[in-house]
Chains A and B, each alone.
Chain A
Amino acid sequence: MDAALWAFGRGTGVVSLVALTVTVLLGILTRSGRPLPGLPRFSITLVHRNVALVACAFVVLHVVLLFFDSFAQLTVLDFVVPFFGSFLPFWQGLGTVAVDLLIAIIVTALLRNRLGLRTFRVVHWLTYALWPIALAHAIGNGTDGTSVWFLWLAGLSTLAVLAAVAWRVSARFVEFRSVRTGQLS
């Protein structure tokens, strides 16, 4: 039973990370105002949103399954307060920080149309902190964190996100940027 929980805990962690990576990539893409071939803009937004919710579901599974696992020895406090774990407290603490950020980002995203644009946007920017913290947690804390296949996965994900961020800050990021003479304040 413990072995099964442990395996599920690891597996859901890896799936969460992949889903989070896809979410970040789609989030940056949708911000540019461009469609994908065969995927219109509103669909990108919807896929971004749904993959994010899938990532959340897997993060919840990941945390809950490991709570019942006897190796991990998690306490309720570890869900929200970082760096007090008994096993690898620093790397596990990063996971807790990532969960806290994720809660803030998801709640403000779900309430976006009530909170107004500014609050939503400021909190949503925390994603740029969430993603590397989650990745570091996976490498430092995960049983598979330093195995070759996972390092390949992590490396490719990092490259993809870095490329997207580089495109995000480049001059031609926004569609129509080249023909617009002024920018909104």
Chain B
Amino acid sequence: MTNSPQPEPAALLHIDWTRCDGRGLCTELLPELLARDEWGYPLARTGSAAGSAAERSDIAIPPALRGAAADAVALCPRQALKLTSR
């Protein structure tokens, strides 16, 4: 009903590193977004230290992957993931 062309806020997957134990469920559910580092912890494929370091703890989720991201949040054995928006 609103006329203002508000762009949909970008969905972000936030990683709480104090909880993450690198169990690997999120990296299986979101292989397009997440790889695993040499210790098993999720590593964002986009965003690098050279770019914006913040993108590695708050990973932008394309609309097509929102369902998989919601599954990852629900299934994370350490409850280390949250969906947020910018």
Contact = CB atoms under 8 A, between A and B. Distances in A.
Contact of A45 (B22, B77, B79): B77
A108 interface: no
Given A117-B78, A184-B21, 14 more contacts: A30-B77, A31-B77, A33-B22, A33-B23, A33-B24, A33-B40, A40-B28, A41-B24, A42-B75, A45-B75, A45-B77, A113-B74, A175-B23, A179-B38
Closest 5 CB pairs of A and B: A176-B40, A33-B23, A40-B28, A42-B25, A41-B25
Contacts of B38: 179
Interface of B: 19, 21-25, 28-29, 38-40, 71-72, 74-75, 77-79
Contacts of A113: 74, 79
Contacts, number: 42
A184 B20 CA distance: 9
A45 B25 contact: yes
A42 B27 CA distance: 10
B28 A42 contact: yes
Instruction: Specify the main secondary structure of chain B where it touches its partner.
Output: loop
Nearest to B68: A42
A37 interface: no
A99 to B, nearest CB: 26
A116 interface: yes
Interface of A: 30-31, 33, 35, 40-42, 45-46, 112-113, 116-117, 175-176, 179-180, 184
A35 B40 CA distance: 13
A175 B71 CA distance: 22
Nearest to B38: A179
Contacts of A184: 21
A175 B24 contact: yes
A116 B24 CA distance: 20
A41 B76 CA distance: 10
Contact of A42 (B39, B71, B79): B71
